[in-house]
């Protein structure tokens, strides 16, 4: 197949890597990064209508959308109107991520467990709700804020301040013109991914991400500093609860709303006293979760995407490896605060056969100049290790990190700690 992947991160690199390992497809990335050009061809057509015309001319068989923004903008509808095969939710279904107000109201409507909340665009209403809450208090901007729209306030005054800054437009512009104020949930977090074709779904092994910048879950929130899967923190009973109480009613509900869900339903779960409570939905793969989950799939990843995009998941038997995967993000010096100076990336030759065969790098914030790879900011790459248990996978991932050098490199040293407690 000719396959087009939209996006430029480690997530999209990992999709490309898995598919390129099948050795039977031609890959294109829009826009890709300095390393995806080793897996296929980077193109640069930002306008969705123009990209669609390009895909028709080029006879692209499958388009996979990595990030949320094009989904929320409706790229899937544009491609489908021209009978192209594209993996991802429609604009209407992508509202599950595009608007937290929509998402919370859907959870409520479908009776899916979620934190008690108030949705409002009136400051006074939010203040009186806050006055009756216990701290900490969670305040969320309605729209897309690149992962920064959630404030966990430790006092009522701080919560009110966050509401005020959001509603006035000063913290997140239009994305903050409506807010969610909700109760704080105390538990452990999971990332659960269901690949959906509108009707059927396949659940991947549950992963854990590490959103905070520093060891011990300290410091500011990031896009994710590392992940591992499968996590031993989920047993069959919890998977069943998530399927019966969350995935099935969501897919049923979205069908009734006239927005059948196709693509990746990314369920942010907080497990509180053994019960799954839904923090949020995203409508795409997590990054770095994608980088550790796709290589655990033994069957063809391209089949999974293609069958989901053509309402054919019922005919797919997805086979997982028995392995574990751990991914460690290496970020640039000033992440997540500001951009960093470009720094050359040197990867030592890996002599150890065991490490060579059981680890790899997924490149994200990189650019190529004169054949050399440079860290260009943000999350630069993910070192992924595999093993028969989490410890083995983790040791290999960290061993690989030791072989990668660039000025200002930054990483957490405790990825997967909750599984090793
Ligand atoms: P979200 O973008 O909604 O997933 O929120 C980002 C992060 O904030 C989550 O991954 C959680 O760690 C945290 N968070 C969000 N909502 C809550 C909540 N109600 N209680 C506790 N933590 C939360
Ligand atoms: N790693 C979490 C996310 O992609 O939103």
The atom number, within ligand 1, closest to the CA of 209 reads 10
Q: What is the DSSP letter of 8?
A: -
Cα(132) to ligand 2 centroid in Å equals: 31
User: Which of the following CATH numbers is that of domain 324-405: 3.40.50.300, 1.10.10.10, 3.90.600.10, 3.40.50.800?
Assistant: 3.90.600.10
Helix axes 123-131, 156-167, angle to 10 degrees: 170
Cα(65) to ligand 1 centroid in Å equals: 24
pTM of the model: 0.96
Gap between the terminal Cα atoms of the chain: 44
Q: How far apart are CA 312 and CA 37, in angstroms?
A: 31
User: Which of the following CATH numbers is that of domain 188-315: 3.30.450.20, 3.40.50.2000, 3.30.470.20, 3.40.140.10?
Assistant: 3.30.470.20
Q: Is 282 in the pocket of ligand 2 (CB under 6 A)?
A: yes
Cα(109) to ligand 2 centroid in Å equals: 25
CATH class of the domain comprising 116-183: alpha beta
- The ligand minimizing its distance to the Cα of 103 is 1
Q: How far apart are CA 373 and CA 71, in angstroms?
A: 30
Q: How far apart are CA 51 and CA 231, in angstroms?
A: 38
Q: How far apart are CA 285 and CA 313, in angstroms?
A: 17
Q: How far apart are CA 150 and CA 134, in angstroms?
A: 17
The protein residue with its alpha carbon nearest to ligand 2, atom 2, reads 286
DSSP assignment of 94-151:
HHHHH-HHHHHHHHHHTT--B--EEEES-HHHHHHHHHTSPSSEEEEESS--TT--EE
Q: Is 68 in the pocket of ligand 2 (CB under 6 A)?
A: no
Instruction: Give the mutation target among 282, 293, 378 for probing the ligand 2 site: most ligand atoms within 8 A of CB.
Output: 282
Fold of 2-92: Rossmann fold (3.40.50)
CB atoms within 10 A of CB 65: 27
**Mind listing the pLDDT tens digit of every residue in the chain (421 residues)?**
999 999 999 999 999 999 999 999 999 999 999 999 999 999 999 999 999 999 999 999 999 999 999 999 999 999 999 999 999 999 999 999 999 999 999 999 999 999 999 999 999 999 999 999 999 999 999 998 877 789 999 999 999 999 999 999 988 889 889 999 999 999 999 999 999 999 999 999 999 999 999 999 999 889 999 999 999 999 999 999 999 999 999 999 999 999 999 999 999 999 999 999 999 999 999 999 999 999 999 999 999 999 999 999 999 999 999 999 999 999 999 999 999 899 999 999 999 999 999 999 999 999 999 999 999 989 999 999 999 999 999 999 999 999 999 999 999 999 999 999 8
Closest of 346, 354, 353, 358 to residue 402, by C-alpha: 346
Cα(284) to ligand 2 centroid in Å equals: 9
């Amino acid at each position: 197949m000719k396959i087009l992947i939209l996006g430029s991160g480690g997530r999209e690199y990992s999709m490309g890597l898995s598919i390129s390992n099948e050795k039977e497809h031609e890959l294109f990335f829009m826009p890709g990064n300095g390393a995806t050009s080793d897996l296929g061809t980077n193109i640069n057509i930002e306008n969705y209508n123009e990209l669609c015309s390009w895909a028709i001319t080029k006879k692209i068989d499958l388009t996979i959308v990595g990030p949320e923004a094009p989904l929320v903008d409706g790229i899937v509808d544009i491609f489908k109107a021209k009978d192209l095969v594209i993996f991802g939710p429609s604009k209407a279904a992508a509202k599950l991520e595009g608007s937290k107000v929509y998402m919370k109201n859907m959870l409520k409507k479908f009776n899916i467990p979620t934190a008690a909340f108030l949705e409002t665009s009136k400051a006074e209403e939010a203040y009186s709700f806050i006055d009756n809450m216990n701290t900490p208090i969670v305040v969320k901007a309605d729209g897309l804020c690149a992962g920064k729209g959630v404030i966990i306030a430790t006092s009522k005054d701080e919560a009110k301040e966050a509401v005020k800054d959001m509603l006035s437009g000063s913290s997140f512009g239009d994305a903050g013109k409506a807010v969610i104020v909700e109760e704080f949930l105390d538990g452990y977090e999971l990332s659960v991914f269901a690949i959906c074709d509108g009707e059927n779904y396949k659940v991947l092994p549950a992963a854990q991400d590490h959103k905070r910048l520093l060891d011990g879950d300290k410091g500011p929130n990031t896009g994710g500093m590392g992940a591992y899967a499968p996590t031993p923190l989920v047993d069959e009973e919890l998977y069943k609860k998530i399927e019966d109480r969350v995935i099935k009613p969501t897919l049923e509900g979205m069908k009734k709303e006239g927005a059948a869900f196709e693509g990746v339903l990314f369920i942010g779960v907080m497990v509180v006293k053994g019960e799954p409570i839904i923090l949020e939905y995203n409508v795409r793969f997590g990054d770095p979760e994608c980088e550790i989950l796709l290589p655990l799939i033994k069957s063809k990843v391209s089949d999974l995407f293609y069958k989901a995009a053509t309402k054919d998941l019922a005919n797919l038997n997805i086979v997982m490896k028995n392995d574990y995967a751990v991914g460690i993000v290496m970020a640039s010096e000033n992440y997540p605060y500001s951009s960093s100076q470009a720094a050359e990336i040197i990867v030592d030759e890996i002599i150890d056969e065991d490490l060579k065969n059981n680890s790899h790098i997924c490149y994200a914030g990189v650019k190529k100049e004169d054949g050399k790879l440079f860290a260009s900011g943000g999350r630069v790459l993910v070192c992924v290790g595999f093993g028969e248990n989490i410890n083995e996978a983790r040791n290999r991932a960290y061993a690989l990190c030791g072989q990668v050098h660039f000025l200002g490199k930054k990483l957490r040293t405790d990825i997967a700690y909750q599984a090793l407690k």
